[in-house]
Amino acid sequence: MKNGKKLILLAVVISVFGATPGSALAAGPTFGEITLSPTAPTALSTVTLSVILSGDAPSEVRVTVEECNGLTGICYPDIQNVSLSLFSAGNYRTNVTLKHADATYITCQVVAKTSGAWTSSPKKNVNLSKNTNGNDGNDDKKSPGFEVVLFIIAIGVSFIVLARKRFK
């Protein structure tokens, strides 16, 4: 039984030391949170994406941005794959211009190339805010236009003129 305990201890020690170099070789960059500026972008706007990477220095960093419409359940096939530039120590940044007016959210994922292998960050979904400048081309407000107001005024003036003629 004494030899059995030594054998188990030896197996544990070998597995711990054997796993350590393997995990060190597979270690790539560690991804920080993907941040956007503005934090709640609108459709068709330009967004600044940034991420902090620590660990091994990557030779290339890219971000994929997929625009989707949550109301219809459609994600557009033209996924943008943009290169990020090193802005400061470990901080990578780029600008992305959104392409679809009816997109309601975007999905971002950063990938980094280290020692010839690509490592991916978790995906981040960002809801897009409504365009408040009135130029979004979406006329679902159901408010009457200028011509409807003129039509109502014309009917009102006609009633006043007819009422005066009847009482004379």
| Secondary structure letter of residue 59 according to DSSP | S
The secondary structure of the chain in percent helix, strand, coil, rounded to multiples of 5, reads 30, 35, 35
**CA–CA dist 73, 21 (Å, integer):** 45
Q: Is 154 inside a domain boundary?
A: no
Q: Output the domain CATH number for residue 69.
A: 2.60.40.10
Query: What CA–CA distance (Å, rounded) separates 157 from 146?
Result: 17
3-class DSSP string for 144-155? CCHHHHHHHHHH
- pTM for the complete prediction? 0.63
Report the range of poorest mean pLDDT among 13-17, 34-38, 59-63, 111-115: 13-17
Is 67 a domain residue?
A: yes
CA angle, corner 81, sides to 78 and 83, nearest 5? 155
> Strands 60-69 and 80-83: what pairing?
antiparallel
140 inside domain: no
Domain that holds residue 42: 28-127
Span between the terminal Cα atoms of the chain, in Å:
124
Residue 153 lies in a domain: no
62 assigned to some structural domain: yes
If we measure between CA atoms, which residue out of 164, 146, 40, 63 comes closest to residue 111?
63
Q: Answer yes or no: is 22 within a domain.
A: no
Is residue 19 a part of any domain in this protein? no
Structurally, the chain folds into a number of domains equal to 1
The pLDDT tens digits of the residues spanning 98-137 come to 999 999 999 999 999 999 999 999 999 999 998 765 554 4
Q: Would you say residue 163 lies in a domain?
A: no
% of the chain beyond a pLDDT of 90: 56
